């Protein structure tokens, strides 16, 4: 019977419900958070601008608003573990998306190592950090403009790489298309891609893989 499909996927998977902030008012999000608190110790809303963010944390003062990534969240302390997801990006401009990914993973209960400022234009920086990336079980690699970083990282590590193109850049970047196409056409194996600026989606995938690998 249809009972086969009627269980909420979110419940089965143990992932908390995450609020997509775009197109919702602060009040709506405040109410949703109130109701989510009945079942969940952690909370996350993404794509929240400054005005909404401030209003939400005024009411939910156990939550943090991170302006750069546009997230409001409540984490719980992570268990001590040697296993982690590496979140890798080039520089200041991609930090918003990288932090959306990192915070999402942490809210979902997974340790994150941030490896920032390692763009391909200065390869020595990436090579200086490569062991920290290699030791991860999954990497999220965030890049705008030419989006070359996932290809280079993918060739240096033996674990799955979630590639996140960003809309950072101007002119012929076409709002992230240049980075997106680079990542889809990567000559490195072991790379899969999510939507432009979708740090959340990359983290969701990475956490699934990480949890599957066990502790």
Ligand X SMILES: Nc1ncnc2c1ncn2[C@@H]1O[C@H](COP(=O)(O)O)[C@@H](O)[C@H]1O
Q: Does 155 bind a copy of itself (CB under 8 A)?
A: yes
Say which entry of ligand X, a copy of itself, Mg ion, none residue 173 contacts (CB below 5 to 8 A, set by partner kind).
a copy of itself
- Distance from the first to the final alpha carbon of the chain: 36
Q: In angstroms, what is the minimal distance from the CB of 37 to a copy of itself?
A: 20
Question: With CB cut-offs between 5 and 8 Å by kind, which of a copy of itself, ligand X, Mg ion, none does residue 46 bind?
Answer: ligand X
Q: Are 103 and 68 spatial neighbours (Cβ–Cβ below 8 Å)?
A: no
The alpha carbon of 30 is separated from its chain's Cα centroid by a whole number of angstroms, namely 22
Residue 53's CB is within 10 A of a number of other CB atoms, namely: 22
Token output for 134 = 């290699």
**Is residue 46 near ligand X by the rule CB under 6 A?**
yes
Per CB under 6 A, 215 contacts ligand X? no
CA 146 to chain centre: 20
Q: What does the per-residue mask of binding to a copy of itself show for 6-45, with x meaning CB under 8 A?
A: xxxx--xx-x----x-xxx---------------------
User: Does residue number 162 form part of the binding site for a copy of itself (CB under 8 A)?
Assistant: yes
Segment 77 to 96, residues that bind ligand X, using CB under 6 A? 91-92
* Residue 161 parent element (H or E): strand 161-165
């Amino acid at each position: 019977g249809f009972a086969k499909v009627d269980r909420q996927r979110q419940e089965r998977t143990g992932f908390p419900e995450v609020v997509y902030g775009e197109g919702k008012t602060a009040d709506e999000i405040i109410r949703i958070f109130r109701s989510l608190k009945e079942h969940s110790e952690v909370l996350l809303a993404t794509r929240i601008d400054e005005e909404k963010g401030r209003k939400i944390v005024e009411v939910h003062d156990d939550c943090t608003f991170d302006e750069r990534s546009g997230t409001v969240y409540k984490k719980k302390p992570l268990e001590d573990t040697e296993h982690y997801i590496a979140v890798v990006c080039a520089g200041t401009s991609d930090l918003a998306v990288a932090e959306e990914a990192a915070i999402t993973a942490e809210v979902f209960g997974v340790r994150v190592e941030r490896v920032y400022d390692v763009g391909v234009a200065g390869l020595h920086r990436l090579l200086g950090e490569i062991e920290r990336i290699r030791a991860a079980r999954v990497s999220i690699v965030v890049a705008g403009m030419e989006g070359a970083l996932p290809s280079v990282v993918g060739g240096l590590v033996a674990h799955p790489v979630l590639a996140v193109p960003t809309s950072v850049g101007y002119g012929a970047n076409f709002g992230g298309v240049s980075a997106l196409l680079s990542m889809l056409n990567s000559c490195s194996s072991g790379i899969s891609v999510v939507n432009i600026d979708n740090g959340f989606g990359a983290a969701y995938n990475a956490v699934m893989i990480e949890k599957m690998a066990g502790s």
